[in-house]
Structure 1
Amino acid sequence: MNMLIFKRFSLTILILGTLVACKETNKNPQKKISETITSETQNDFLGNYVAKEYHQRTEGYDWISVAVRNKGDNTIGISVRSRADKKRPTCTFDSKAFKVNDSLYRACSNGVGILFSFKKDSLKILTEIPEQADALQFYCSGGGNFTGDYGRIEGELDSSQIDPTLFTKTLELQGIGFSVSSFARNNKKILQILPYGLEIDNSAITRTLEGSIADVEIEDLNSDGFPEILVYLSSDGSGSYGDVIGYSVNNGKSISAIYFPPISENDELKKGYMGHDEFSIIETTLAQRFPIYREGDTNANPTGGIRQIEYQLVDGEASRKFVIKNSTDFPEKN
């Protein structure tokens, strides 16, 4: 299997995961969206988009913005933020969205399909089923949501007004949920995990972050009837070295940290490793993927193919931990 096939295989898994998560609600998918599509590349869409009220912010108007960032092949990152200097932020939302066609991307959140339709310098957000738009009130205050039309602006958003939250995502499984967020405090990045639905201890977990949150996933990885929450990290800088912070639910009562072994501890698997990790859950397995570098390769041009490592969650002596189930090296693209 060459790298191109592997990338397509990985993308298929990611998209299928998104589709399955929303399948139970996708009975009347939105029609005619594709009729408005134009042929553009993913990079054409990157940037900051704002509601029309943004241009009246000096007059005291509230506003919502959408930052669109590259998250890999056929994947973009969506960050919805709003004004936070006068009042509580109107809407706060983070997600990955996956390519449907040249100008349409799709995300899934708590069973709701969300569509991001791009035209030149404009973005339209709507739910796949129109009647589900109210479900996005979960991410907003005052009964609103972030569907609607946005225009792209040059440069950065107004830092004196914008919500300083760096990342936020809420996930729930088997009646237990986690609100995961990060924010800046005293020149440090802080991770906060707020569990809910536990019988005994729902205390917040707060710790300093090295790097940024790339994504968060939830799954019952050991099939004990209770979920695990995994926070994927990416270091700052060109290396984008990955790490995983995980917590496992103990019989529905409390949570404990999961140990994730760093690549540096494995003499064989660390050969050719220079970061650029991607993580995803495939059924009940955690998969880590990264490019393999040969001697002389530059950071931007690895030529050794792709390494995929699969981890299984097991009970350790002191706590649960990830152990390597298998690993596979896929050759470079021909």
Structure 2
Amino acid sequence: MNLSLKIALGSLLIICLINCKHEIKKVDQEDVIEPIKQELPEVAGNYVSDYYQNRNEGYDWIAISVKNIGENTIGISVRSRADKKKPTCTLDTKANKVNDSLFTSAVNGLTVMFTFHKDTLNISTERPEQADGLQYYCSGGGNFIGNYARIDGDLDQTQIDRTIFSRTLELQGIGFLVSSTTIEFGKELQITPYGLEVDNNPITHIIEGTVINAEIEDLNSDGFPELLVYLSSDGSGSYGDVIGYSVNNGKSISAIYFPPVSENDELKKGYMGHDEFSVIETTLAQRFPIYKEGDTNANPTGGIRQIEYQLVDGEASRKFVIKNSTDFPEKN
């Protein structure tokens, strides 16, 4: 084959490759399939068991109320029918986001899984054989594992359990059942200890506002726990308060005094509520936004103030005293 023919064949091959490449590229662009946008479930709402639809015929039912309480956290309230007998199941817990459809919570030492689909919720334990561990929160050997359907609007207020908050906390062999209910003239908080040597009688408080959380910890490192119940006032201010009890040598409990911010001339500057409380090791921390003059209730601009409290022995009972206070600047 002479040189001219080789050059001609080579040129033809190059032209064919270029045309094929352009053609393939053209086909690829024309045949691109737009990805299907998956409709992610909106998890907040009320979900009910099958028999809810037959409640007027006397059937028992369970409802799961889900609220958004953080970017990656939801609040779960398990309630049931309570107009004809004692509630079937009662539980309050927080669940953390695993992905857009799955949230998990630690309940009684078990990992409980809340899986959301469009208009449905499935509740299960991480391992099926662990389901019986949730019987503690239900009567008659039952539990709240299963499937629930979303409903529009509120639950049937004539039948539902009036318990607003319910949690059981235990440490060092001593525990507390903390619950609040709606009563005729307000709200009632009941604290029932167990495991004490002398006095396990329940303690009742008539409260203003709502119980938002409860924690247990040995704050003074004496081998016995303290119980802290966090309250938030109703209304836009959401002013916080703490009801605390300390165990006395494993025999009884006594109240802990918590000093209100409003009684401290320095710390109350810029204070307008919206408190958050949490135990950090053996310290109680209180955080709230700082308001500058002219700020609206919904838009504080002064940063965040954190107060840390230490539990000490007082003359009559234990009390919280301020350990330190820090103001953090507003995030840009």
What is the Cα deviation at residue 251 of structure 1? 0.2
CA distance in structure 2 between the aligned counterparts of 1:241 and 1:67, rounded to whole angstroms: 24
**8 Å CA contact 2:132, 2:143 repeated in 1:** yes
**8 Å CA contact 1:39, 1:102 repeated in 2:** no
SS at match of 1:230: strand
Amino acid at match of 1:163: D
CA distance in structure 2 between the aligned counterparts of 1:188 and 1:162, rounded to whole angstroms: 17
The aligned counterpart of 1:127 is: 125
Deviation by residue 1:250-285 (Cα, 9 ceiling, x = unmatched)? 000000000111111112211111111111111111
CA distance in structure 1 between the aligned counterparts of 2:102 and 2:291, rounded to whole angstroms: 33
Q: Does 1:192 align with 2:212?
A: no
The aligned counterpart of 2:4 is: none
Q: Does 1:62 align with 2:60?
A: yes
CA distance in structure 2 between the aligned counterparts of 1:98 and 1:269, rounded to whole angstroms: 33
The aligned counterpart of 2:109 is: 111
**8 Å CA contact 2:122, 2:148 repeated in 1:** yes
Deviation by residue 1:134-181 (Cα, 9 ceiling, x = unmatched)? 111000011111111111111110011111112111111111111111
Amino acid at match of 1:271: K
Q: Does 1:327 align with 2:328?
A: no
The aligned counterpart of 1:311 is: 309
The aligned counterpart of 1:151 is: 149
What is the Cα deviation at residue 105 of structure 1? 2.0
**8 Å CA contact 2:77, 2:93 repeated in 1:** yes
Deviation by residue 1:106-128 (Cα, 9 ceiling, x = unmatched)? 22223122222222222121122
Which residue among 216, 231, 234 is the counterpart of 2:232? 234
SS at match of 1:71: strand
With over 3 angstroms needed to count, the CA separation of the structure-2 counterparts of 1:93 and 1:225, relative to structure 1, is: same
CA distance in structure 2 between the aligned counterparts of 1:150 and 1:266, rounded to whole angstroms: 49
Which residue among 163, 173, 176 is the counterpart of 2:174? 176
The aligned counterpart of 1:280 is: 278
SS at match of 2:55: helix
Which residue among 190, 211, 214 is the counterpart of 1:213? 211
Which residue among 233, 252, 255 is the counterpart of 1:254? 252
**TM-score (structure 1 length as normaliser):** 0.85
Q: Does 1:294 align with 2:297?
A: no
**8 Å CA contact 2:108, 2:134 repeated in 1:** no
What is the Cα deviation at residue 75 of structure 1? 2.2
Q: Does 1:77 align with 2:75?
A: yes
**8 Å CA contact 1:65, 1:81 repeated in 2:** yes
**8 Å CA contact 1:221, 1:228 repeated in 2:** yes
What is the Cα deviation at residue 227 of structure 1? 0.5
CA distance in structure 2 between the aligned counterparts of 1:248 and 1:40, rounded to whole angstroms: 45
Amino acid at match of 2:296: T
Amino acid at match of 1:282: I
**8 Å CA contact 1:110, 1:171 repeated in 2:** no
More off after superposition, 196-205 vs 126-135: 126-135
CA distance in structure 1 between the aligned counterparts of 2:275 and 2:74, rounded to whole angstroms: 16
What is the Cα deviation at residue 40 of structure 1? 4.2
Q: How many residues of Structure 1 are paired with residues of Structure 2 in the alignment? A: 295
More off after superposition, 125-134 vs 242-251: 125-134
Deviation by residue 1:294-314 (Cα, 9 ceiling, x = unmatched)? 221111111222221111111
Amino acid at match of 1:272: G
The aligned counterpart of 2:201 is: 203
Amino acid at match of 1:175: G
More off after superposition, 170-179 vs 128-137: 128-137
SS at match of 1:77: strand
What is the Cα deviation at residue 102 of structure 1? 2.6
Gaps of 5+ in 1: 1-37
State the identity as a percent: 75
The aligned counterpart of 2:24 is: none
SS at match of 2:305: strand
With over 3 angstroms needed to count, the CA separation of the structure-2 counterparts of 1:40 and 1:324, relative to structure 1, is: farther
Amino acid at match of 2:90: T
What is the Cα deviation at residue 219 of structure 1? 0.8
Deviation by residue 1:17-63 (Cα, 9 ceiling, x = unmatched)? xxxxxxxxxxxxxxxxxxxxx6748xx32111111211121222211
More off after superposition, 106-115 vs 83-92: 106-115
CA distance in structure 2 between the aligned counterparts of 1:127 and 1:273, rounded to whole angstroms: 43
CA distance in structure 1 between the aligned counterparts of 2:39 and 2:290, rounded to whole angstroms: 33
SS at match of 1:225: coil
**8 Å CA contact 1:39, 1:103 repeated in 2:** no
More off after superposition, 229-238 vs 110-119: 110-119
With over 3 angstroms needed to count, the CA separation of the structure-2 counterparts of 1:104 and 1:327, relative to structure 1, is: farther
